[in-house]
Structures are given as C-alpha cells and as structure tokens.
C-alpha cells in the first residue's frame, strides 16, 4: 500500500477520499510519499516524492483525465522511472506491487514538502525558455534523482539513498 500525502492543490484536482493520516502511521516509510500539483510552463505538473529516500518523480502536462486515473498514472510512471534509473528488478517489482493500493491523506512532513519545493525550483530551471514539446522529462527526472543532493539526506542523491535503503533490509 502506498500512502500519498496530498497537498491542498492536489486534493482539489483528484476525486479521491482524503483519509486520516494517523490511520496509516504503521505503513513503512518507504511506501509513504508526498505529492503536489504545480504549474510549470503554463501546464499542470505532478511532483511525487518518497518520504524515506527523497526519490522523486516529476510528471509534466497532466490533464483532467489523468488526474481522474491518478493511481494508474503514478504506477505506470514509477515503473518507467525505475527503468530509467536502473533500479534492481526485484526492488522495482516490490515497490510497484505496493502501489496496487494507493490511499491519499493530508501532508504530514514539512521536511518532504521543502524538498518538493526544491524539485519544483530545479525543474522550472531546467525547462526555462523551452517550448513544452522540447522538455525532456526523462532527463529532468534522472537529474533530480541522480545528480541533485539534498542537505537533509546526508549529502547523498535520492537514488543512492533509495538503493541504500534496500541494502539495509
């Protein structure tokens, strides 16, 4: 099960019930995420970040229909992200299996929300001056996970933190 802390902006976009955060405290942090909707290049984008590792996904140009089927959009996009980053198949399969059930709650971590804001800043910077058709989402997602370093992750990239999490298991 994935527990996604949805910002107010995302809650307004989706047609999903918003569950009580406390009911899902026992879900391992690796299956907890935060998500926000932002506007980049005049298009709605979804930012998704893993609470435990900072692993993140930026989806550009989402339309109303995609928000109506957000669970499957997230699962399919995470599968592509795991392939892009070269995540071990066993780990990717475990994460995608957990994504079969997604519940939405209010946000609970100011730390993760701050990291989401950094992702927004870097994504905006990468697309500045580009036409929507020229945005390379794969390149941006790879940079945000393999190059970007968050100070609250011990100066390590989200991808390395994600890999390190599963090494400890």
As beta bridge partners, residue 102 has 2
Full residue range of the structural domain in which residue 106 is found? 2-168
> For residue 31, how many other CB atoms are within 10 A of its CB?
20
Does residue 152 surpass a pLDDT of 70? no
CB 122 within 8 A of CB 23: no
pLDDT at 150: 78
Does residue 153 surpass a pLDDT of 70? no
pLDDT at 90: 96
Alpha helices in the chain (DSSP H): 8-13, 64-68, 70-85, 89-98, 110-127, 137-146, 158-167
Distance, first Cα to last Cα, the chain: 18
The CATH number linked to 9 is 3.30.420
Read off the pLDDT of residues 43-97 as tens digits, 9 standing for 90 and up: 999 999 999 999 999 999 999 999 999 999 999 999 999 999 999 999 999 999 9
Read off the pLDDT of residues 83-141 as tens digits, 9 standing for 90 and up: 999 999 999 999 999 999 999 999 999 999 999 999 999 999 999 999 989 999 999 99
Number of separate domains in the chain: 1
For the question of whether the overall pTM of this predicted structure is more than 0.75, the answer is yes
The pair of structure tokens assigned to 6 is: 């949805």
Q: Which residue's entry shows tokens 């994935």? A: 2
């Amino acid at each position: 099960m994935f527990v996604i802390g949805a910002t107010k902006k995302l809650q307004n976009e989706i047609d999903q019930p918003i569950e009580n955060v406390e009911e899902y405290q026992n879900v391992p942090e690796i299956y907890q995420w935060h998500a926000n909707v932002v506007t980049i290049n005049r298009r709605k984008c979804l930012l998704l970040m893993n609470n435990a590792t900072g692993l993140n996904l930026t989806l550009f140009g989402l339309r109303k229909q995609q928000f109506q089927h957000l669970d499957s959009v997230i699962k399919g996009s995470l599968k592509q992200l795991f392939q892009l980053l070269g995540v071990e198949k066993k780990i990717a399969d475990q994460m995608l299996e957990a994504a079969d059930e997604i519940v939405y709650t209010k946000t609970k971590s100011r730390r993760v929300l701050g990291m989401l804001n950094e992702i927004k800043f870097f994504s905006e910077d990468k697309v500045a001056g580009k036409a929507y058709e020229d945005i390379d989402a794969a390149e941006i997602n790879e940079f945000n996970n393999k190059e970007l370093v968050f100070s609250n992750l011990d100066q390590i990239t989200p991808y390395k933190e994600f890999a390190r999490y599963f090494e400890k298991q």
